[in-house]
Amino acid sequence: MCGTRCAECPRQLHQPQTAEGADVWALASDVGGQWRHALISGPGGAVSVPSGYDMTAVIAMARERGLDTRAVAELMPVIEYAAQSSDRETGND
């Protein structure tokens, strides 16, 4: 975070607009260990790359927290896609 607030700030532009959205965002911040990985063969051997959240585990965590699992099922794939896109852009596969 840069320490200032401006109209173009991604944190401002993309902040959750509903209580359910805030709940799902908090959940997304806590499920970093729930990524599934795929082995990709390459010239140097197999490499493990993130292939997406383990949605069964994510939904179970949401249910245990008493969250709206419909909201989780709707929003988590969008968060997952953004996280994977960001990793590809920054080279953090």
CA-to-CA separations, 74 to 21, 61, 69, 79, in angstroms, rounded: 10, 15, 8, 10
User: Amino acid letter at 69?
Assistant: T
Burial of residue 76 (number of CB atoms within 10 Å: 0-12, 13-18, 19+): buried
Burial of residue 68 (number of CB atoms within 10 Å: 0-12, 13-18, 19+): middle
Position 69 confidence tier, pLDDT thresholds 50, 70, 90 = very high
pLDDT tens by residue, 12-60: 777 788 888 889 888 988 888 888 888 888 888 888 888 889 999 999 9
Q: What is the pLDDT of residue 87?
A: 58
Position 65 confidence tier, pLDDT thresholds 50, 70, 90 = very high
- pLDDT, average across residues 75-90: 77
Q: Give the Cα separation of 66 and 86 in Å (integer).
A: 29
Closest CA to 51 of 24, 81, 78: 81
Q: What is the pLDDT of residue 36?
A: 86
Q: What is the pLDDT of residue 79?
A: 86
